Structure 1
Amino acid sequence: MNTDSVSRRHALAGLAGGAALLAAPGVLRAQTKTVAVYTAFVDAVNALAPAFTAATGFTLETVAAGSGELIARVRAEAARPLGDCVISIGGEGIDANSEAFEAYAPAGIDAVRADIKVSDIWSPFSVTVPAVLCVNADLVSEAETPTAWADLADPKWKDRAAYAGADKSGSALIQMLQIVHTAPSDEAGWALFEAMFPNFIVTGSSGAVPRGVAGGEYAVGLTLEDSAQRFIDGGAPMRTVYPTEGVALSADAMALIKGGPNPEGARALLDYVVSPEGQALIVGNFGRRPIRDDVAAPANVPPATELPVNNPDPAWVRAATPKYRELYLALARA
């Protein structure tokens, strides 16, 4: 999102959000039972808060924004951090700014699927399919529905396709990288994205994409599987498309902010998220896939074995992220 939306003081009794700034550093450091969470998925943090508070005694205070904005905030506050941890953001941004974070292996990390533990700095929060298409079924017929990433380069989608923007949204960055990765070469992949981009309406917010498709503002959008599924479950006239070139099955990230005012509380939160209880809450409330095999996957999404999974190599992602972010910024300014 373009501006921070902040919800404060989520204690056991209630989760009313409010637009406010975090308290001054001295105040936060005095409130040792409060964990300051920077998150791109504030609804999930809010849903975890009551049980986490009951289990640990810590309360949660959240700052909600897109992954890029949160990383920029952590960097700006590095001399005197206000946040304790980041939750549910793109891991690429954490890896690219590893000096601002502290490596931590949460309790229970050995139960996490080995294929999604790809960084020593951050831990998985949940498993996502971050790059799918959501299509408004009232605006797009079955015959017209795009089935491949390359379909969105067709001029007929101009001003009908929504994309959050790789400079504002971690999921949008992953979507761009997925398009590049699944092409026959990186050069061909970037050329495809360049051809698609003039058709896009850039929303600046990942949440605005499925919401706009569900409401008929856009015909199609690049989004996360679970974001689309929540609107479908709510009765929206939408369908999810897994592009034939391939989708990624990957994890969003959580990590400790180095020098945060409440490291004990932040570590407790990461421990809770990794636990079976925490994962069951995330799956049950939001349809995310779990990071552990001993927690049941959501019932309303296809099994991973039925998806055209085409995961990029983590080393390629780390090398490609700064390159294609810069190329994207130049493309967006043109």
Structure 2
Amino acid sequence: MVVLNRRLLLGLAAGGAAARLAQAQEARAQDMPAHEKALYEAAKSEGEVTWYTGQMQAEPSEALGRGFSERYPGVKVNVVRSTSQVAFQRLAQDMRAGIAQCDVFSSTDHSHAAHLKRQDRLAAYRPRNADGLIQAARDAGDPDGFFHVTYLGLYLMARNSNAVSEAEAPKSWKDLTDPKWRGKIAVGHPGYSGAITSWCLLMRKMYGWDYFKALEKNQPQIGRSSGDPVTTLNAGERVIGAGIPSATTLLSISRGNPITLIYPTDGTLMVPAPSAVLRNAPHASAARLFMEFLTGPEGQRVTRRFFGESLRDDVPPPPGARPLSEIPLITADPEALERDGQEVKELWRDTFGV
């Protein structure tokens, strides 16, 4: 007769859990297409991948890292999340010091990827899964395969619905210069956020720099990330958010915060955000596998859980978001972003003093 003591029961439970884990891993392996299986076998020997990213906030970025490791057990993701400008500065410091630490770089600023390509810092790699991306994402990627769009950010306005009614809320970007919003607006900073740099370029193109001189008179609260105003609106410190990400705002709304999106009548900013494998990536196979994950359905499903726009027809759009076909969209010209991005950052500092 077998005596079922505590140690034996724990051993049986552990054995059962291990068996279930092995079965789940086997099922995932069978679900992988051949090109992913080959990369996975090589990536397991590397054991990790380091991702510098400014595309999403910390929570969805960490969730993507966990999702990758769940699909590819034995390969850990070191998520280094910051604003896009800070991520680029960190990478530049690594390069000056001769350090190869970053495997995959993701930004909301197209000029970062274009600059790295010109400097021969990127590896040409075209993920097979990128073939399933929507046309707009494929078109915004590098034709030579050095970088690919892995995230499509929408940036718009929002109001604290406890403090501002729909009737009195601003309807357009231009409305933010109305003196009635003095001391009530929160916005990010182009010196840290690639999305805010794009927004500045478009507002200057549409309304001239006098737009920002008028906005400065309303004394906006200026954070760093484009997502910082969401926190400010939740706290009731300001009541209007400008240039804020749709995904972060919808996630906050889903958690019961009193925020309502405002789609500006003069256009919602769309930012195709690129990712790339570094030429000197220390975990080259894991880096390529991570790019397959970001562009594939599994990665896009994780992004959707945090209300990110889906880049694939086989992954539905996030709940609560308007279909892209119903939104007037504006997008910064990549050449203008690279040519004039630094200029608008300097103009911003001159105008706002930060």
TM-score, length basis structure 2: 0.77
Letter in structure 2 aligned against 1:101: L
Structure 2 equivalent of residue 163 of structure 1: 187
Amino-acid identity (%): 25
Distance 2:158 2:297 in 1: 30
Q: 1:91 to 1:314 in 2, by over 3 A?
A: closer
Distance 1:249 1:172 in 2: 11
Structure 2 equivalent of residue 34 of structure 1: 48
Q: Find the partner of 1:45 among 44, 61, 67.
A: 61
Query: For the Cα contact (< 8 Å) 2:230–2:248, is it kept in 1?
Result: yes
**Match status 1:298 vs 2:312:** no
Provide Cα deviations, 1:129-148, integer angstroms capped at 9, x if missing partner: 1x200111112122320011
- Deviation, 1:59, is 0.5
Distance 1:89 1:51 in 2: 21
Letter in structure 1 aligned against 2:312: R
SS of the counterpart of 2:168?
coil
SS of the counterpart of 2:269?
coil
Query: For the Cα contact (< 8 Å) 1:74–1:81, is it kept in 2?
Result: no
**Aligned structure 1 segments of 4 or more residues deviating by more than 4 angstroms:** none
Letter in structure 1 aligned against 2:317: A
Q: Find the partner of 2:227 among 207, 210, 213.
A: 207
- Deviation, 1:45, is 2.9
SS of the counterpart of 1:248?
strand
- Deviation, 1:36, is 1.1
Letter in structure 1 aligned against 2:92: R
**Match status 1:314 vs 2:334:** yes
Structure 2 equivalent of residue 124 of structure 1: 149
Letter in structure 2 aligned against 1:92: S
SS of the counterpart of 1:108?
helix
- 39-48 or 285-294, larger mean C-alpha shift: 39-48
- Deviation, 1:198, is 3.7
Provide Cα deviations, 1:59-96, integer angstroms capped at 9, x if missing partner: 01122211111101101111212211123543333223
Q: Find the partner of 1:250 among 248, 260, 271.
A: 271
Q: 1:332 to 1:93 in 2, by over 3 A?
A: farther
Q: 1:84 to 1:43 in 2, by over 3 A?
A: same
Structure 2 equivalent of residue 63 of structure 1: 80
Structure 1 equivalent of residue 15 of structure 2: none
Structure 2 matches for 1:150-189, cutoff 5 A?
150-181=174-205, 183=206, 188-189=207-208
Query: For the Cα contact (< 8 Å) 1:248–1:309, is it kept in 2?
Result: yes
- Deviation, 1:308, is 1.5
Q: 1:313 to 1:203 in 2, by over 3 A?
A: closer
Structure 1 equivalent of residue 89 of structure 2: 72
SS of the counterpart of 2:329?
coil
Distance 1:312 1:172 in 2: 11
Distance 1:272 1:112 in 2: 12
SS of the counterpart of 1:213?
helix
CA RMSD after TM alignment: 2.2
Q: 1:104 to 1:43 in 2, by over 3 A?
A: farther
- 60-69 or 135-144, larger mean C-alpha shift: 135-144
Distance 1:87 1:33 in 2: 20
Query: For the Cα contact (< 8 Å) 1:116–1:250, is it kept in 2?
Result: no
Provide Cα deviations, 1:133-181, integer angstroms capped at 9, x if missing partner: 0111112122320011111112222221111100011222222233234
Structure that is richer in helix per residue = 2
Query: For the Cα contact (< 8 Å) 2:141–2:274, is it kept in 1?
Result: no
SS of the counterpart of 1:255?
strand
Letter in structure 2 aligned against 1:152: L
Structure 2 matches for 1:184-195, cutoff 5 A?
188-195=207-214
Distance 1:301 1:51 in 2: 23
Query: For the Cα contact (< 8 Å) 1:36–1:62, is it kept in 2?
Result: yes
